């Protein structure tokens, strides 16, 4: 049996349509993968922004601590630095809480909980230093 021209054209068009459908399905799948990757990158970028804020706040509390120590004996200046230290400490704690909320597994949450506990110990220690400085009434040269 000989295929007519119409049958051949219909077969070719069917092959083209199947090929186009397969190409479209592959493109749809690839687009879905790209969107998922973009979502992952957006989430990673937001977490990295929080990490940068936590790092900056941790450096800030240390800076205010240093400035507090350097101004021993000047109660007004020390009070300003303690106020700044408390603001940075609140920012640090908020950043750590945000990181903990964004964590994906127990290992990350445990690591962040350890950092929070270390910050709490540090804050308690610095509060004791501030109290001791007020009680000692040290002057700048002492």
User: CB 57: neighbour CB atoms within 10 A?
Assistant: 21
How much is the pLDDT for 72? 85
| Cα separation, 78 vs 82, whole angstroms | 6
Report the chain's mean pLDDT, rounded to a whole number: 91
**How far are the Cα atoms of 119, 131, 134, 135, 136 from residue 69, in angstroms, in the given order?**
19, 13, 12, 15, 13
How much is the pLDDT for 121? 97
How much is the pLDDT for 74? 87
pLDDT tens per residue, range 43-68: 889 889 999 999 999 999 999 999 99
pLDDT tens per residue, range 64-94: 999 999 998 888 999 999 999 999 999 999 9
How much is the pLDDT for 55? 96
- Model confidence at 29, pLDDT cuts 50, 70, 90, reads very high
pLDDT tens per residue, range 4-13: 888 999 999 9
| DSSP summary character for residue 103 | -
Residue with tokens 């240093």: 66
142 pLDDT more than 70: no
- Model confidence at 137, pLDDT cuts 50, 70, 90, reads low
How much is the pLDDT for 140? 53
How much is the pLDDT for 135? 73
How much is the pLDDT for 113? 95
């Amino acid at each position: 049996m000989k295929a007519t021209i119409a049958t051949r054209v219909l077969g070719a068009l069917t092959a083209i349509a199947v090929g186009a459908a397969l190409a479209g399905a592959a493109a749809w799948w690839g687009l879905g993968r790209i969107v998922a990757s973009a979502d992952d990158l957006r989430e990673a970028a937001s977490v990295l922004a929080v990490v940068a804020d936590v790092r900056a706040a941790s450096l800030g509390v240390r800076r205010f601590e240093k400035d507090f120590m350097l101004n021993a004996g000047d109660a007004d200046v020390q009070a300003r630095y303690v106020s700044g230290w408390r603001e940075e400490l609140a920012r640090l704690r908020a950043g750590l809480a945000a990181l903990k909320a964004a964590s994906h597994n127990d290992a990350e949450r445990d690591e962040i909980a350890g950092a929070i506990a270390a910050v709490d110990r540090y804050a308690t220690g610095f509060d004791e230093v501030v109290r001791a400085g007020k009680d000692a009434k040290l002057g700048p040269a002492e």
